[in-house]
């Protein structure tokens, strides 16, 4: 029970990686505010997984004012904040010439600007608790990926934002991120459906990493809990790759 009575806000906490993070924190005694774009999404998650210690905190991470309100509501309900996890994200594929303003702006707003606005709003509470931030970046923030220029730009920005804020906030608030490769979630299934050939897309996703499989959401959650916990007390500014070796270098296969 590393996180007994720890106060946590997880944006994007009602599904995918975020939901696994919420469950992992709850299993170790935390009180968790679940952020999501709609109350309906949060209610479905709570109904499926139980409501013990869970606090709804709806808000659109792509909107600055909504970020601030979500963080404010979570802090008010929790009585403070020890850990902020920025897990909300979107992923759309498109050739460069097909990326329109909505695709670009929304990708940057949710994947990069939203985490910054949430961190900014949470700073007084995190400084008071000497807490920390863990953001979900991506292996696409460490290396390029064809067909996802906006996503790569946003996640690369989030990696370097993590490093910059770690320096700005040391020693009061630690700031880290994890960089997953392909993870077996609803978002990946939606990308497969959008590709027009979900079977082929899933096969590609499974051979994408040298280890020859996708990550499980629980594996990402475990890394987040490490970075948020006392064992990582000397870790700040880190971008932890959890990508089955994809960014390590060329594979022989």
Positive or negative, the CA dihedral 214, 28, 228, 113 is: positive
Residue showing tokens 């996708």: 214
pLDDT tens, residue by residue, 49-80: 776 679 999 999 999 999 999 999 999 999 99
Give me 67's structure tokens. Answer: 């970020």
Give me 193's structure tokens. Answer: 């459906």
Give the residue, 11 or 92, on which the prediction is more confident.
11
Catalytic residue of the set 91, 151, 201, 208: 151
Statement: residue 38 has pLDDT above 70: yes
CATH topology of domain 7-180+216-236: Rossmann fold (3.40.50)
Question: Domain locations in the chain?
Answer: 7-180+216-236, 181-214
116 exposure class (CB count in 10 Å sphere: 0-12, 13-18, 19+): middle
The reported pLDDT for the residue numbered 192 is 87
Verify whether residue 151 is a known catalytic residue: yes
pTM listed for this prediction: 0.93
Q: Which of 79, 148, 158 is nearest to 117 (CA)?
A: 158
- Quickly state the pLDDT bin for 248 (edges 50, 70, 90): confident
Give the residue, 250 or 21, on which the prediction is more confident.
21
Residue 107 CA to residue 185 CA, distance in Å, equals 18
* HEC per residue, 91-115: CCCECHHHCCHHHHHHHHHHHHHHH
């Amino acid at each position: 029970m590393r996180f007994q009575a720890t106060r946590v806000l997880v944006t994007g906490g009602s599904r995918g990686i975020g939901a696994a993070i919420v469950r992992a924190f709850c299993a170790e005694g935390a009180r968790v505010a679940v952020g999501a774009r709609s109350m309906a999404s949060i209610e479905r998650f709570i109904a499926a997984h139980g409501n013990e210690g869970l606090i709804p905190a709806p808000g659109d991470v792509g909107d600055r004012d909504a970020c601030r309100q979500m963080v404010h509501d979570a802090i008010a309900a929790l009585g403070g904040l020890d850990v902020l996890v920025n897990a909300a994200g979107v992923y759309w594929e498109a050739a460069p010439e097909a990326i329109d303003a909505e695709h670009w702006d929304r990708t940057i707003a949710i994947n990069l600007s939203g985490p910054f606005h949430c961190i900014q709003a949470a700073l007084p509470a995190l400084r008071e608790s000497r807490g920390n931030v863990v953001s979900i970046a991506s292996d696409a923030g460490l290396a390029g990926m064809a067909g996802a220029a906006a996503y790569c730009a946003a996640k690369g920005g989030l990696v370097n934002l993590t490093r910059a804020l770690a320096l700005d906030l040391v020693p009061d608030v630690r700031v880290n991120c994890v960089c997953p490769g392909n993870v077996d979630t609803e978002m990946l299934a939606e990308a497969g459906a959008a590709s027009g050939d979900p079977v082929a897309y899933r096969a590609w996703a499974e051979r994408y990493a040298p280890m020859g499989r996708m990550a499980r959401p629980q594996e990402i959650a475990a890394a987040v809990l490490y970075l948020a916990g006392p064992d990582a007390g000397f870790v700040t500014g880190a971008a932890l790759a959890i990508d089955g070796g994809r960014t390590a270098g060329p594979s022989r296969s």
